[in-house]
Amino acid sequence: MPKKQTPHSQKTKLSRHRHKHRHVDALENEFHTVLKSIADGVVVINTDGEVILFNQTAEKITGYQSEEVEESSFEEIFHVQTEGRQKVSFDIHAVLQNGELTETADHIFLLKKDGSTVPITYSIAPIHHNGSKIRGAVITLRDVSREYEINRMKSEFVSIVSHQLRTPLSAIKWFLETLIENHQNDPISDRQRDYLEQAFQSNERMIILINDLLNVSRLESGRVRNDPTSIDVATIFRSVIQEMEIFAHANNVTIDCTFCEKTIPDVYVDPGKIRQVIQNLLSNGVKYTRGKETLRIEVEVRPKEIEFRIQDQGIGIPESDQQRLFEPFFRAENAIATQAEGSGLGLYICKMLLEFNGGRIWVESTVGKGSTFFFTLPRAN
Ligand code: ADP
């Protein structure tokens, strides 16, 4: 039998209820204070993309006070851009609609209230209600000015050192060349000539490495001019293949370009930069071989972009290494074992050059069977 409620028990329940509410309020206040004081910028938005919480660090990073932004649209106030000042979006709609977490891999520049920029990394995580319905999103902003500055100094250091090394290396190259070429007037033994030629080759490799390092530091610091124009990439492929003929022949590799004699739509890119990408990918395809093979180059034209595929039958890349391939200085174990020479900078440079030109690069590979490098370029309108 349920106990009959007396006015007394009714009162107790109510007060307990009130007490519980007070407890929740206190807890909410506590959370609010904690969120407000976190050392990362924290911004909470509702499903309409309006700011409902803006903590102190977010104020410090952006230069806006919470009163100025709360209840306003996050996307209308906050803008981000790349190193090359290309406008990009926070893309909060993808998070609010699909409920997927978005994170930046690299830093990006946030436009502050005073018009200056600050390098940041951010993440946008959906807030789920009862584990399913999306109630909003929480955006965290991290000021990475210090890391950015250290990185800039490192690039500058590499750039200065590389510049300083280039001059003596060019001098050595010139002296060795003169000694090798003038051996009729100035007789040297075959053994001496052999040594000189080896010294010349080593010097050449150092020049290539220094040029790669200089390239990287220029690209990383954004000091590179990118001049996109409408071009036919097949022409670039043809000329790179022609240049590479002797190297390919020496490695027993036949290059088969399936579209080089055809007309493909123009792309909108910097020709010099894309030439470098093609050179790097083809020379890798020729370098990492296991014997007689064919390097096949294919194309797929899509409405907005063109996809190129460079497929080799070489040593392949272990699956565990495939993700790190585009990092600077990374070389897979099987490549080190078969090809002692290499800096591990080529693919990193390719990735950066393509990003500058609105393209992407990725790889599919099986050890012992071969690799296919894919890259895309935006079509010219
Ligand atoms: P490098 O060739 O100087 O080592 P890259 O940046 O061009 O530098 O390449 C990085 C690494 O990616 C190579 O060391 C090798 O492990 C792997 N790689 C690149 N291209 C190929 C390929 N076609 N086949 C197998 N491995 C490759």
Residue 2 structure tokens: 């349920």
> Is 4's pLDDT higher than 60?
no
Quick one: DSSP state of residue 182?
Answer: T
Predicted confidence (pLDDT) at residue 295 exceeds the cutoff of 90:
yes
CA 237 to chain centroid, in Å, comes to 24
Decide whether any atom of ligand 1 lies within 6 Å of the 315 Cβ.
yes
* Paired tokens of 311: 């497929």
- pTM of the predicted protein model: 0.70
pLDDT, tens digit, 9 for 90 and up, residues 249-263: 999 999 999 999 999
C-alpha 107/C-alpha 225 separation (Å) is: 20
Evaluate if residue 14 carries a pLDDT over 50.
Answer: no
Residue 22: its pLDDT value, please? 61
Q: Average pLDDT in the 193-219 region? A: 91
Ligand 1 atom closest to residue 373's alpha carbon, by position in its atom list: 23
Please give the average per-residue pLDDT across 292-314, as a whole number.
96
Six token digits for residue 192 = 């001496």
The ligand 1 atom at the shortest distance from the C-alpha of residue 334 is 16
Non-local CB neighbours of 238 within 8 Å, separated by 6+ positions: 257, 260
347 Cβ below 6 A of ligand 1: yes
Provide the pLDDT for residue 16: 44
Q: How does strand 108-111 pair with strand 133-143? A: unpaired
Q: Tens of pLDDT along 66-91?
A: 999 999 999 999 999 987 777 888 88
Residues 41 and 70: beta-carbon distance below 8 Å: no
Determine if ligand 1 sits within 6 Å of the CB of residue 215: no
- Confidence at 152, pLDDT banded by 50, 70, 90: confident
Average pLDDT over residues 184-205: 89
Ligand 1 atom nearest 347 alpha carbon:
6
Confidence class for position 140, pLDDT limits 50, 70, 90: very high
State the pLDDT confidence band at 339, using cuts at 50, 70 and 90: confident
Measured from the CB, is residue 344 less than 6 Å from ligand 1? yes
For 301, half-sphere exposure in the C-beta direction (CA atoms, 13 angstrom radius) is 12
If we measure between CA atoms, which residue out of 357, 63, 150, 51 comes closest to residue 233?
Answer: 357
Choosing from 286, 295, 331, 366 the residue with most ligand 1 atoms within 8 A of its CB, the one to mutate for a pocket test is 331
Give the pLDDT of residue 37: 83
* pLDDT, average across residues 278-291: 94
What pLDDT score was predicted for residue 82?
83
State both tokens at 222: 């954004």
The number of angstroms, rounded, from the C-alpha of 158 to the middle of its chain's C-alpha atoms is 20
Q: What is the DSSP letter of 50?
A: B
Q: How many residues comprise the chain?
A: 381
**pLDDT at residue 330, rounded to an integer:** 94
- For residue 7, the model assigns a pLDDT of 42
Q: Whose CA is nearest to atom 7 of ligand 1?
A: 346
Determine the atom of ligand 1 nearest the C-alpha atom of 326: 6
Highest mean pLDDT among 32-36, 56-60, 206-210: 56-60
Q: Residue 41: what pLDDT?
A: 96
- The 3-state DSSP class for residue 237 equals helix
Query: What percentage of residues in the chain have a pLDDT greater than 90?
Result: 64
Check pocket membership of 346 for ligand 1, CB cut-off 6 A. yes
Kindly give the distance from the C-alpha atom of residue 250 to the centroid of ligand 1, in angstroms, as a whole number. Answer: 19
